[in-house]
Amino acid sequence: MDVYTIGLAGGMLLIILGIYGLTVKGNMIRLILSVEILTNGAIVVLVTFGATPLGVINPVIISLAILAVGVGGCIAAVGLAIVIQAFRHYKTLNVRELKRLRW
């Protein structure tokens, strides 16, 4: 197997895991983790495409990947801050019990 196959398969696996977590899990912290896994899967795909057959790595792709890692951290920070506030209001982390908003 070449590096593309491994990288793409791994990235797509992470993306599928993330989407699975988003749709199935009910815990708010697990939802934030699923978003992070989804983002990381996209980063893995990005870095895989950035690795050219000659071994030269495009610096733009690496900087974009590093930016995306930082952004993922920001999203986790903001998300966990909101989770703390939600816990103060509802005394639960189960997102299924946050049903005061209608569709």
Partner 1 sequence: MFTLVVDVLIFFAIAVAVVGALTRYRANLNTAFGLASTIGFGLALYFWWNLYLEVQRAGGVLVLKALPVLASSSLRIDMLGMFFSLLFLLVGFTSSFHSMRYMEHDSGHAQYYALLLSMVAGMVGVVYAGDFFTLFFFWELMAITSYVLVAFRKHLWEPVEAGFKYLVMSAAGSALILLAIALLYGITGTTDLAGIASAIKAGTINAELKTWLYFAIAVIVTGFGIKASIVPLHTWLPDAHPAAPTPISAMLSGVVIKTGVYAIIRMLGLVIYPAALDWNMVAVVVAFFAALTMTVGNVMALLQEDVKRLLACSSIAHIGYIMLGVSIGLLGGTIGLYGYTAGLLHTMNHAIMKGLAFLAVGAFIHAAGTRKLSELVGIGHRMRAMAVIFVIAILALSGVPPMNGFVSELMLVLATLNAGMGIMVAVLLANILIGFGYYLRLLYIMVWQSPRSELETIRGTSWLMLIPCGILASLCILIGVYPEPFLDFASQAAQAVANLPAYTAIA
Element (H, E) at 99: none
Cβ contacts of residue 8 below 8 Å, gap of 6+?
Answer: 45, 48
Nearer to partner 1, 1 or 89 (CB): 89
Q: How far apart are CA 32 and CA 93, in angstroms?
A: 12
**Distance spanning both ends of the chain, measured CA to CA:** 47
Residue 1 or 74 having the CB closest to partner 1? 74
Binding residues among 37-66 for partner 1 as defined by CB under 8 A = 38-39, 41-43, 45-46, 48-50, 58-61, 63-64
* Residue window 66-85: x/- pattern of binding to partner 1, with contact defined by CB under 8 A: -xx--x--xx--xx--xx-x
For partner 1, the closer of residues 5 and 85 by Cβ is 85
Smallest gap from residue 50 Cβ to partner 1 (A): 7
- In the chain, the amino acid numbered 82 is I
What residues make contact with partner 1 under the rule CB under 8 A?
Answer: 15, 18-19, 22, 28, 31-32, 35, 38-39, 41-43, 45-46, 48-50, 58-61, 63-64, 67-68, 71, 74-75, 78-79, 82-83, 85-86, 89-90, 95, 98, 100-101, 103
